């Protein structure tokens, strides 16, 4: 009986250690991927070439944008294609052919479980807050006009509207059953 308790206790202890290590592994993996992207960005900005074994292509790196929302201390990279791999690293463009300052520039991101990652604090923005979408040479400034909770199938919010230049930011609610949609109206381009 005593041996059975020791074996069961050991199994539970090992299972607990494994369960605790899973988030740590994902955190380590995410940090590694972000660091690789930052190193690639640094090489390109210094005029150097990417090594043959680089995790990202030249085209992927030169298409990276930066999204800033000062009111929630958000400063995140935006990759130009939405894939599960890209979403695990950064925010992503929902439409690959979109250009800042034209139509409805749509960006998606995971909610994240940490306060400084992805769109974890997106629901904390307010109407009137500024959004900055930075390219290597220009900054596109938007002002938040609407924050709403929508159903996952409400994709019409991403469509271009005639005569409107805007930005749409999308993430999940905490439950994951609905989406938080933040709309912003284009104000100006600087740089």
Express each pLDDT in 81-106 by its tens digit: 888 887 777 888 998 788 899 999 99
Strand partners, 147: 182
Supply the DSSP symbol for 19. Answer: H
Please provide residue 190's backbone torsions phi and psi, each rounded to the nearest 5 degrees. -125, 165
Hey, which residues are catalytic here? 110, 172
Per-domain residue ranges of the chain: 1-63, 64-190
Supply the DSSP symbol for 55. Answer: S
Would you state the pLDDT for residue 114? 57
Choose between 2 and 184: higher pLDDT: 184
User: Do strands 166-172 and 91-93 pair parallel, antiparallel, or not at all (unpaired)?
Assistant: unpaired
* Structure confidence by residue, pLDDT tens digits, 106-122: 999 988 665 566 888 99
* Structure confidence by residue, pLDDT tens digits, 124-146: 999 999 999 998 889 999 999 99
**What does the buried/exposed string (b/e) look like for 53-88 if buried means 16 or more CB atoms within 10 Å of the residue's CB?**
ebbbeeebbebbbbbbbeebebebbbbbebeeebbe
User: Do strands 104-108 and 166-172 pair parallel, antiparallel, or not at all (unpaired)?
Assistant: parallel
CATH 2.40.260.10 fits 64-190, yes or no: yes
């Amino acid at each position: 009986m005593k041996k059975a308790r020791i074996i069961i206790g050991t199994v539970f202890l090992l299972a607990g250690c494994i369960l605790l290590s899973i988030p740590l592994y994902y955190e380590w993996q995410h940090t590694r991927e972000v660091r690789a992207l930052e190193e690639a960005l640094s090489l390109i900005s210094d005029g150097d070439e990417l090594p043959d074994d680089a995790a990202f292509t030249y085209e992927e790196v030169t298409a990276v944008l930066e999204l800033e929302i000062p009111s929630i201390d958000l400063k995140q990279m935006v990759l130009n294609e939405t894939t599960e791999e890209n979403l695990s690293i950064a925010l992503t463009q929902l439409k690959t052919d979109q250009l800042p300052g034209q139509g409805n520039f749509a960006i998606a991101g995971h909610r994240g479980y940490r306060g400084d990652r992805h769109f974890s604090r997106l629901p904390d923005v307010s109407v009137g807050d500024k959004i900055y979408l930075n390219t290597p040479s220009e900054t596109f400034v938007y002002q938040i006009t609407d924050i709403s909770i929508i159903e996952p199938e409400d994709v019409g919010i991403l469509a271009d509207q005639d005569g409107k230049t805007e930005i749409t930011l999308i993430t999940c609610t905490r439950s994951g059953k609905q989406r938080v949609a933040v709309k912003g109206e284009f104000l100006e381009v600087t740089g």
